[in-house]
Amino acid sequence: MKQIKSGSTLLCIRLALLSFIIIFPALTYAVESAIEHQLSVRLNPEEHRLYVEDKIILPANSPAELFFSLHKGLHPQILNDSIKLITMEPAGEDLQQYKLLLPKNLNSFTLTYEGEIHHPLEGHGRQRAGGMQSTSGLISARGVYLSGNSFWFAQFGKYPYLRFSLTVESPIGWKVISQGKHTQLNNIKGSSVEKWESSSPQEEIYLVAAKFTEYNRDANNIKAQVFLRQPDKKLAGKYLEATIDYISMYETLLGPYLYSKFALVENFWETGYGMPSFTLLGSRVIRLPFILYSSYPHEILHNWWGNGVYVDFRSGNWSEGLTAYLADHLIKQQHGKAASYRLQSLQKYNDYAAKSSDFPLTQFRGRHSSASAAVGYGKTLMLFNMLRQQIGDELFIKSLRQLYLQHKFKVTTFDDLQKIFEQQSGEDLTHFFHQWVNRTGAPELILSQSKVIKTTDGFQLNFELKQMQQDDVYHLKIPMAVTLDSESRTHQSFVFMSQKKQQFTLSFKTHPLRLDIDPEFDLFRKLAIEETPPAFTQLFGSKEMLVVLPRSADSALQTAWKTFALNLSNMGPEKVTIKWDDELNTLPEDQAVTILGWKNIFAAETVLTLSDYNVTHQPGNLKIGGSHIDEFNHSVALTLRHKNYPRSFIATGQPNFLENLARKLPHYHKYSYLAFSGNEATNKLKGRWSVSHSPMTAMFKNKTPRGTLAKRPALIEPR
């Protein structure tokens, strides 16, 4: 993800400095006003130190008084007696601000400084939000990670853009990665010396370094690179091929790639960061088989959205949703699974955000929880899906290309997006953007009073739609599909709704057998609970959860289950109560409940409830559909619903299985049932229970299957 990385107070300080862009909006487009840094850096990883000489070249007509910020304890000096450097009050625990008084007509000067930057990794966020560790800046023997949030280079609030060259001296065997183009590599006096430079305006400067094995491949004047902490030619080859394919696909769809390289860099802790021209992913992440078809194209695409066209974070981060739509959603659509993906996005919104954690898109900065992701990613990608349906694929693609062409390296708002789409489509999209960007919440639709009437020349289908949300009415373009007698394909069309309650009448020559409203989940809306299968999103998104431990389990399992229950309490629910099974006579019916262990008093009745989903249990063996799971060698996690409250049953054969199960379970939150094998918790089975009847469907002949829906082409097919 292209995100503002968190860490101590430095992030907040940097955001405050970036607010200068909003106070003086003209600067957001003044790319020619970029400041230039010519940096020479020496790293001492063992002592967590760096030594820097930075020649700074100012834009023309720079004022005589300038302010900059730098990490505390670096003690900058200026190599020009005519310039006065004044130390200001500290801006926080780790940040120092300075004022420069410059003589007239001076356009460059050199800063030197040295010191320690060492912020150990810290956990943040709940596990359901990815819960990865982070640092604002770290120089260590394992590796170096420095970004704008580290304030390792002088940051001038007046100049939000910068260009740079970066020469870095590091230990022999180390490699350095930054944005832009790699221009030099030498070994000098027992050190490795590398140079990176970016002539295009950037928002910050990254410095990532460690011992790496490098792999590369050239294609169409772009270098694909992979930097791994241990040699793995086969893994590198997969990523090199994928890099070339994805860049080619997105160049065809959107326009030329902006940089001379794209690098996959293996980090020394688990991350999912997207930077201009490279991505920094954790060791486990890059070895997950699905990453090549999900997170990886997402990070590459950020070089168009987020690291190519910049985001105005003060008015809302649109880039994550657009990137998710053109990467994660696009790839699902290429494989015929887009409707399922949209359903899962809507279910995450329902389960994590809709109840009490919702907010308008104007307030989305970056993902820090499952609720923020459900809105910032999910609602935004649905906005673009609806916009695509509003204006059609051809104009949608044309608008995206114009957005990229006109706003490269410019800070861009939702208002800018609206203008581009209006210019290309010729439509007034004011109401569309207002209701989806500025409003909190979602429409809640109900289908009612549907009936078919025989007429003299055919049949008349009448139905009513209601918007049940308390807020104002939404203006909606609602997809619908009608299954007709003796026709295999459905009749698909749209109805337009602008009232809280609205009747519709459609005429057909043949008898309508079934009506489906929004059959492919194209509309952003709050789903009825009957539309969604039970899933772990509902459990992790609940306000209160009771976790029930098995008293009759052996002592090793009891200890492991207690630890697991504590981990479970960090996966999302706001309030978690942990009790032993013999402390309860019955299970509560007004909250989420998780039953742990095969020997739990409530295990049998919970599993029996799942018989409707073709789940059966005999001693030592659980059967889910046609799959047999032996208890001793596996862990299982199953969900169900009891009076609209989520319940789950989680069991394992060995106490040592639970540590990795707790780590992996949050990443499978969209599923209804799961089975993992062994100590490594290798996934063996996963799926979602089927939905038998949706309240958005009306059947005029009992149990009529829906006809075939028209195949919808992806915006671009895979290379």
How many of the other CB atoms lie within 10 Å of CB of 83?
16
pLDDT digits (tens, 9 = 90+) for 184-224: 888 888 899 999 999 999 999 999 999 999 999 999 999 99
Whether 125 has a pLDDT exceeding 70, the answer reads no
Token readout for 120 is: 């150990």
pLDDT digits (tens, 9 = 90+) for 57-86: 999 999 999 999 999 999 999 989 999 999
Rg of the chain taking only CA atoms, in angstroms: 28
User: Strands 181-188, 191-202: parallel, antiparallel or unpaired by DSSP?
Assistant: antiparallel
Cα–Cα dist 39/393, whole Å: 46
Sheet holding 621-624, edge to edge: 615-618, 621-624, 627-630
Residue with the two structure tokens 């203006």: 475
**DSSP tag of 462:** E
Contact 578, 547 (CB under 8 A): yes
Residue with the two structure tokens 């629910």: 573
Instruction: Return the minimum-mean-pLDDT range out of 287-291, 381-385, 391-395, 401-405.
Output: 287-291
Whether 247 has a pLDDT exceeding 50, the answer reads yes
Q: What is the mean pLDDT of the chain?
A: 93
**What per-residue confidence (pLDDT) applies to 21?**
39
Cα–Cα dist 317/413, whole Å: 8
**What per-residue confidence (pLDDT) applies to 31?**
62
Q: What is the DSSP string of 392-406?
A: -HHHHHHHHHHHHHH
Whether 291 has a pLDDT exceeding 70, the answer reads yes
387 contacts: CB under 8 Å, gap ≥ 6: 396, 421, 429, 432
Contact 517, 534 (CB under 8 A): no
Contact 515, 461 (CB under 8 A): yes
Whether 128 has a pLDDT exceeding 60, the answer reads no
Prediction pTM value: 0.91
Percent of the chain whose pLDDT exceeds 70: 94
pLDDT digits (tens, 9 = 90+) for 91-114: 888 999 999 999 998 999 999 999
Residue 685, Cβ density class (10 Å: 0-12 exposed, 13-18 middle, ≥19 buried): middle
The model's confidence at residue 1, banded by pLDDT at 50, 70 and 90, is low
Point out which residues pair with 68 in neighbouring strands: 98, 156
Cα–Cα dist 562/554, whole Å: 12
Whether 385 has a pLDDT exceeding 90, the answer reads yes
Point out which residues pair with 698 in neighbouring strands: 515
478 contacts: CB under 8 Å, gap ≥ 6: 445, 465, 494, 495, 496, 497, 517, 518, 523
Q: What is the DSSP string of 303-332?
A: TTBTTTBEE-GGG---HHHHHHIIIIIHHH
Token readout for 141 is: 């023997």
Structural domains in the chain? 1-211 (2.60.40.1730), 310-438 (1.10.390.10), 445-531+695-699 (2.60.40), 536-687 (3.30.379)
Q: What is the mean pLDDT of residues 462-486?
A: 97
* Local structure of 102: helix, strand or coil: coil
Q: What is the DSSP string of 660-711?
A: HHHHHGGGGTT-SEEEEETTTTEEEEEE-PPP---TTEEESSTTPPP-BPPP
**DSSP tag of 489:** B
pLDDT digits (tens, 9 = 90+) for 412-435: 999 999 999 999 999 999 999 999
pLDDT digits (tens, 9 = 90+) for 494-519: 999 999 999 999 999 999 999 999 99
Q: CA–CA distance from 65 to each of 25, 81, 679 (Å)?
A: 20, 16, 62
pLDDT digits (tens, 9 = 90+) for 524-540: 999 999 999 999 999 99
Whether 489 has a pLDDT exceeding 70, the answer reads yes
Whether 254 has a pLDDT exceeding 80, the answer reads yes
**What per-residue confidence (pLDDT) applies to 426?**
98
Q: What is the mean pLDDT of residues 653-681?
A: 94
Cα–Cα dist 98/682, whole Å: 53
The model's confidence at residue 32, banded by pLDDT at 50, 70 and 90, is low
Sheet holding 108-116, edge to edge: 77-78, 108-116, 49-57, 35-44, 162-171, 191-202, 181-188
Residue 412, Cβ density class (10 Å: 0-12 exposed, 13-18 middle, ≥19 buried): buried
Pick from 180, 220, 222, 177: nearest CA to 200: 180
Residue with the two structure tokens 């007698």: 485
Instruction: Return the minimum-mean-pLDDT range out of 244-248, 292-296, 383-387.
Output: 292-296
Q: Tell me how many degrees the CA angle 457-461-464 measures, rounded to the nearest 5.
A: 155
Whether 563 has a pLDDT exceeding 60, the answer reads yes
Q: What is the DSSP string of 106-132?
A: --EEEEEEEEE-B---EE-S-GGGT--
The model's confidence at residue 573, banded by pLDDT at 50, 70 and 90, is confident
**For the chain, how long is the longest CA-to-CA vector?**
97
Whether 27 has a pLDDT exceeding 90, the answer reads no
Q: What is the mean pLDDT of residues 689-708?
A: 92
* Local structure of 24: helix, strand or coil: coil
Q: What is the DSSP string of 164-186?
A: EEEEEEEETTEEEE-SSEEEEEE
pLDDT digits (tens, 9 = 90+) for 268-281: 999 989 999 999 99
**What per-residue confidence (pLDDT) applies to 20?**
41
Q: What is the mean pLDDT of residues 377-404?
A: 99
**What per-residue confidence (pLDDT) applies to 454?**
96
Residue with the two structure tokens 């190519």: 308
Contact 131, 157 (CB under 8 A): no
**What per-residue confidence (pLDDT) applies to 123?**
73
Total residue count of the chain as it appears in this document = 719
Q: What is the mean pLDDT of residues 467-481?
A: 97
Cα–Cα dist 471/670, whole Å: 28
450 contacts: CB under 8 Å, gap ≥ 6: 461, 462, 463, 464, 515, 698, 700
Cα–Cα dist 534/340, whole Å: 14
Contact 459, 512 (CB under 8 A): yes
Token readout for 518 is: 């929004």
Cα–Cα dist 279/513, whole Å: 51
